[in-house]
Each structure stands twice: as C-alpha cells, then as structure tokens.
C-alpha cells in the first residue's frame, strides 16, 4: 500500500500512520506539506499512489483550493477527504468536487478508515489497468522517437542538440521526474558517445552520495535511445533565480554551497568541467543541487568521453586553460565558480563577445573585471577565483569554502543582508 498524505498536523499524521501500519505494516505513507512546498505541480497525477489522503487544515485556506483542484485532474488518484463535521461548507464542496470519500479527521473509525482506503485502492488499480491499454496511455509513453514504459510524459522541458529533457511522472518513484533522452548513435570506431556520457553521468552520481548532487533514479535504453530518470526541480535553476535578483549575502551563500559539493566530487577524483547557472538547480528548501556530469572527468573510469585537446563546456564559464584545450585540475572548476559568483553579484557575465572564440580569448587575456563600488570588499575573492593562472587561484575547493564563508561572515558583520 502506498499513500500520499497531505496534512500539516504532525500528531494527526502520526495517528493516520498508526492506523495504516496496523493493517499494512510495510505501507509507504509519504507526507506532502502544503505550507512548505505549496500546490502540487499541475503535471502530477499521483498515479504511483493507491490513494491520496487530504486533511482539512483549519489554519490555512489552501484546503479548498486542493479540493477544487486535485479531483478535477483527469486520471488523478482517488482523494479521501479528512475533515471535522464543523467544516460543513468544505464537506459539501468535497462531495461536489468528486472526492472518493469523506471521513472524520479527529475521531477515526479504524475499520471504516481501512475499508475506505482498500476500496479506493481497488478502484484506482482497475482504472489504471484500463488506462494502460488505452491509446492515450500509449501516446503518453512516447518521448520523441522513444517509447519508455513506466513513465507518463507530462511536457517537454528543454530541447538540446544532443538530448531532450521531459517532465514525466514515474509510477515506480511515485513522483515527477525529469527524463533526459538522447538517440543512441555510434561513431566510426563503433563507440556510442551518447550512451557513454549517460552511463558516466549515472556512475558518478551513484559513486558520490552528497545532498547537493542530483538524485538519479534510473538509467536505461529504449528504442535505440538512452535515457536517465532524475530528480525534478520545480524551483528551476540558478539562471531563473538570478532573473529575480540575488543579494550579495545570498550569492555568497549559494557559492559556498557550490564549493562544498565541489569538495565532495573533487575528493572522489571528479572534475565537473561544465559549471554554469543551468547546471545549478534549486530545491524547495533553497538548497542547491549540481546536475549534468555528462562532461565530467572521472579518474577512475575506464573510458574517456572526450578526446584530448578538444574543447567541451560553455565558453562564458570556462577557465582559460579549459578554453584552450589544456590539462585541467580542480582549479578549473574554481574558476567557473568565480564566474558564477561574479555574475550573481554584478548581474552580468565577466566576459561577453559576439562569438565563442572571442569569449575564450577574453578569459585568457583580459583583466579580471571590477565589481561595482559598493561590492569592492568582495573584489579580492573574485580576483583569486578568476586568476588567469591556476597557480594563482585557491589550491582546493575546501580553501575556497573557507574564504567564501569568511567573506560572508564579514559581510554580515558589516550589518547588512543585502
């Protein structure tokens, strides 16, 4: 039994878990906190759950919004509404909204509660069985030219030259995921570069267990396409966050988080080689998650997915040595971190030009740009991270963490969080 519980009251959650576990000791009850996470994403249909338990929160007006929204989603799992008899208007609304059942929230009748959940689960499984053989379901499993069982396509997220990203719902994970899908293509030597990059990305994420690294759920092949199922980030990436505006204090906090995850991956012998705003995702709690290890270099892997001397990455965020196809070490990622920090502080990239090669030239030959006058206290940090020669940068990500945190403490001591 797998249930999604939407309830803000910890005591009530514990009571419901007790009733459920008495009948199904191995049941999975996942809690969704409205106050912390907001509305459920519109693409989510909870099809991986047997039922959804929605409890009335007297302290919030969101219960009515959920009542009107969730049952109306075509294919959404059965909703069992838990409310006190005093909330008469909500009980009437629940009935008209099409919930599966309404039960008391406080005084739970165990037998009726369990019987209702069983009935909801049976109905859901019947409807899912019918849906799985429908033309609609068959179409929902198509991701470009690939048919990937176990996933329902919600929408195209991004279209790239090598791979496409889709928001999909996984029945197995009972959540929205991002599916990264790319054609399987072999070069003249018989090596499938796309497959190798996907495999490397999966291998690295599995080897380095860190809270600030994207969670990868599955790696597979379908219809001559490789795919990765990974964590979905409703808050988007750092680029989206920068459009809203980031204070210097926040920029330092985010940079410190990035530096800490670099400590972890560098300690595992990995260079990321493609740090950029689009690869820094934001979770609901404000923490970052590093994604896209397709261009990373792992000293322990038996294969190398790039050729020596070739340039891979994003020119705006490349170190001078990376832009010229030279040997890289951990200090190259620190340079990219410096570019990110400068952009968050100033609102623009340190070097821009009309073409990629011109940008690469500027990284190697132009002086480190100056921050605005009110941010001059942070210029030494930028100068060190963006030093042209690796030997002039911080020697490790750990040292960078210490220096960024020191700058953050000094900024706070100056009496401002802006």
Bridge partners (DSSP) of residue 79 are 52
Q: Which residues are catalytic?
A: 274
Q: Could you tell me if 79 and 4 are in contact, meaning their C-beta atoms sit under 8 angstroms apart? A: no
* Cβ 6 vs Cβ 66: under 8 Å: yes
Token pair 């929408």 is found at: 155
Q: Is 47 left (phi over 0), alpha (psi -120 to 50) or beta?
A: alpha
Location of structure tokens 């209702």: 116
Q: What are the CB-based long-range contacts (under 8 Å, 24+) for 122-127?
A: 123/78, 124/50, 124/51, 124/77, 124/78, 125/50, 127/75
- Nearest CA to 120 among 94, 90, 81? 81
DSSP per-residue codes, 14-55 = HHHHHHHHHH-TT-EEEE--HHHH-SPPTT---TTSSEEEEE
CB contact at 8 A, 166 and 156? yes
- Please name the helix (run of DSSP H) or strand (run of DSSP E) that holds residue 218, with its range, or none: strand 216-222
């Amino acid at each position: 039994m797998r249930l999604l519980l939407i309830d803000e009251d910890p005591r009530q959650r514990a009571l419901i878990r007790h009733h459920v576990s008495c009948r199904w000791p191995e049941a999975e009850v996942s809690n969704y906190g409205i106050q912390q996470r907001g509305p459920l994403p519109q693409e989510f249909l909870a099809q991986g759950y047997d039922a959804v338990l929605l409890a009335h929160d007297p302290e919030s007006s969101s219960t009515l919004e959920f009542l009107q929204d969730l049952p109306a989603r075509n294919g959404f799992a059965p909703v069992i509404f838990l409310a006190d008899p005093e909330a008469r208007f909500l009980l009437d609304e629940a009935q008209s909204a099409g919930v599966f059942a309404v039960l008391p929230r406080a005084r739970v009748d165990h037998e009726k509660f369990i019987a209702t959940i069983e009935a909801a689960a049976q109905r859901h499984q019947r409807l899912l069985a019918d849906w799985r053989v429908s033309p609609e379901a068959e179409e929902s499993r198509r991701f470009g030219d690939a048919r990937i069982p176990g996933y329902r396509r919600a929408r195209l997220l991004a279209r790239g030259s090598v791979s496409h990203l889709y928001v999909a719902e996984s029945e197995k994970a009972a959540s929205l995921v991002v599916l990264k899908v790319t054609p399987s293509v072999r070069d003249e030597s018989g090596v499938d570069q796309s497959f190798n990059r996907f495999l490397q990305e999966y291998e690295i994420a599995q080897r380095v267990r860190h809270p600030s690294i994207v969670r990868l759920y599955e790696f597979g092949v379908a219809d001559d396409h490789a795919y990765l199922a990974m964590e979905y980030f409703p808050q988007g990436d750092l680029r989206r966050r920068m459009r809203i505006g980031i204070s210097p204090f926040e920029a330092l906090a985010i940079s410190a988080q990035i530096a800490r995850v670099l400590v972890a991956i560098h300690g595992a012998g990995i260079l990321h080689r493609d740090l950029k705003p689009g690869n820094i995702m934001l979770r609901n709690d404000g923490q970052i998650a590093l994604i896209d290890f397709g261009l990373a270099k792992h000293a322990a892997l038996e294969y190398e997915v790039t050729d020596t001397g070739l340039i891979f990455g994003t020119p705006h965020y490349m170190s001078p040595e990376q832009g010229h196809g030279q040997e890289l070490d951990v200090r190259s990622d620190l340079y990219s971190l410096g570019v990110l920090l400068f952009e968050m502080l100033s609102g623009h990239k340190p070097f821009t030009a009309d073409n990629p090669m011109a940008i690469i030239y500027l990284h190697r030959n132009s002086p480190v740009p100056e921050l605005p006058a009110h941010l001059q206290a942070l210029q030494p940090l930028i100068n060190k991270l963006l030093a042209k020669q690796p030997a002039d940068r911080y020697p490790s990500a750990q040292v960078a963490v210490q220096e960024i945190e020191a700058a953050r403490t000094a900024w706070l001591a100056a009496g401002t969080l802006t």
